[in-house]
Structures are given as C-alpha cells and as structure tokens.
Structure 1
Amino acid sequence: MHSDRPAMIDILLVEDNPGDVELVREALNEGKLRNELHVAYDGLQALRYLRGEGEYSDRHLPDLILLDLNLPRMHGKEVLQEIKTDPALKKIPVVVLTTSREEEDVLRSYDQYANCYITKPVDLEQFLHVVQSIEDFWFTIVKLPGKR
C-alpha cells in the first residue's frame, strides 16, 4: 500500500523544561508516525543545530520546529526571527508551544511568521492531546515543502 506520509519525520523541540521535553517525547511516541525528536535546551543551541554548526554538522533539517518562547541565553522570539529571516530555514514550519497567554506574545509571534501559536495546557492529558494533534495536523493533513 502506498502512503504519502514520510517514513520518518524529524522534529526539533526547543524547550528548556525537562518535564515538558518528556511529555512531548511521550506524546510523540504514542502517535501514529515514526519520528525522531531532537531537543535544543536554549535558543543558541537551537540555532547551532539548525545551521549545522559544530557537533550538529551531520544533522538533517527538521520537518517541524516546536518552539518555546521562554528560553535561556536567547529568547524564543529572537530564535523565531532568526529562523524566519534565514533563507535556508524560513520554510520550516514553526509551532510556538509556550505557557504565555499574553496577547503581545501571540501578535509578535505571528508578526515574525510563526505558523501557529499554542498555549501549553496545564493538564497532562490535554498536553499529550495537543502534541498528538500537532503531529496529526502537520504530518497527515498539511503538505510540507520537500515532502511527497
């Protein structure tokens, strides 16, 4: 049977909270698609990964970026701006997944071309459902650049 789904999807999670990293990992493991989750724990590490610098020279560009805004060393807003102004990176969908409900953060994220903005639910089951919904939407419904 032929499938239009990629055999393996690469996701870059930019998140400094180890608990949230594990929740995302768990939700993706329970999902329908094979995925490889790469984690950057701050904004500078995320940009090094995306640009293939240093220890990341053999990385594959991710199919999707899940980006927290409240990051150490470089704020998520700055990371988003760097991604969306870099011709080699700007087509990668960026889902802002953060605790902030501030309207200013929502507006600024969309002004910087975030593909969507999701506030992290506090409830564990809702959090898992949100991550699985992200996976379903971006990898079963949406046509991504460079994917069949």
Structure 2
Amino acid sequence: MENNYILLVEDNRNDEILARRALQKNSINNPLFVAHDGVEAIEFLMGTGSYSHRDARQLPALVLLDLKLPRMDGLEVLRQLRSHELTRRLPVVVLTSSDEEQDVKRSYELGVNNYIRKPVDFNEFVETVRQLSLYWLQFSDKVMINNKER
C-alpha cells in the first residue's frame, strides 16, 4: 500500500458508508483503509498483531479518527500515535459526533491537527470531507515531496 491512502478509524458502519460516499462524491480516489476500533488502528499503523506482516513505514496521507471507539478510544489512539517517532507527525483529523469541550481540549493537547464535528446533513458532510481532504491530502503531498528532496 502506498503512502497516499487514507486511514478511517470508525466503528459505526453507517458513518463508514457515509465517509466512503462523501469521498467518492468528491472524486477523492485515494485508497481507503478502515480500522473498526482503536486497537486495530494502532496494530495497523505500528505493524503489530494481525498486521505484523505490514511495513509500518508506509503511513497514510491522512488519518480520520473517531473518538468514541470500542477497545481503545480515539484519544488514546492519538496519544499513542504522538508518542512514537514514526507517527508523531502523521496528519490526524478527529471527525466525531462529540462536541464535548473536554474532548476538543484534550484532542488538541494530544496534538490533533484538526477537530471536526460530523455534520448531520449529508451534503454538509460531503463538503466537510471535500475541504478536509483537499487541504490535508495536498499538505501531505507537499510534505512527502519535501522529505524526499532532503
């Protein structure tokens, strides 16, 4: 898997389907990998557990992270990502239904790049995904090019 893929960490199948549709509607053709809980996300990114065969150096261009996840919540996933050298600078956008002030504050304290509350309206969700993807995928492409030139 190349480094231009998007990792969606989402346990709700309906929200996963909505994200896929929003990406498709915006002609965002980056491959999408979905982790359905926090433990699976960490194992996938670190190349451990059932993903021990995966090269952990092949990081996604963007992580879209829900906070309310089984087995390990999104805040713990974020904490672990920021504590590892390999994933410390990985672009992570929290995309969640939570608008609790403590979740927003803690996410930024842990180093999230952006915190977005999932819009309820599908058209608003499509537009949110379009803006996030355009900004973060273009940003990540520039970072990758700059890193290769060094």
Specify the TM-score bucket, using the shorter chain as the normaliser: 0.7 to 0.9
Counterpart amino acid of 1:102?
A: E
- How far did 1:144 drift? 4.8
Structure 1: segments with no counterpart, 5+ residues:
1-6
Pairwise CA RMSD of aligned residues? Answer: 1.9
Q: How many residues align?
A: 142
User: Cα–Cα, structure 1 residues 69 and 144, in superposed 2: closer, same or farther, change >3 Å?
Assistant: farther
Q: Which has the higher helix share?
A: 2
Q: Distance in 1 between matches of 2:86 and 2:64?
A: 18
Counterpart amino acid of 2:115?
A: Y
Tell me if structure 1 keeps the 8 A contact 2:64–2:94.
yes
Name the TM-score, length of structure 2 as normaliser.
0.86
Tell me if structure 2 keeps the 8 A contact 1:8–1:35.
no
Q: Distance in 2 between matches of 1:55 and 1:145?
A: 29
Deviation by residue 1:42-100 (Cα, 9 ceiling, x = unmatched): 00000000011244323531111000000000011000000011111111110000001
Structure 2: segments with no counterpart, 5+ residues:
none
Q: Distance in 2 between matches of 1:80 and 1:26?
A: 25
- How far did 1:137 drift? 1.1
Name the TM-score, length of structure 1 as normaliser.
0.87
- How far did 1:125 drift? 1.0
Q: 2:113 aligns with which of 115, 134, 139?
A: 115
Aligned to 2:54: 58
Q: Distance in 1 between matches of 2:49 and 2:130?
A: 32
Aligned to 1:41: 36
Aligned to 2:7: 12
Identity %: 44
Q: Distance in 1 between matches of 2:134 and 2:54?
A: 28
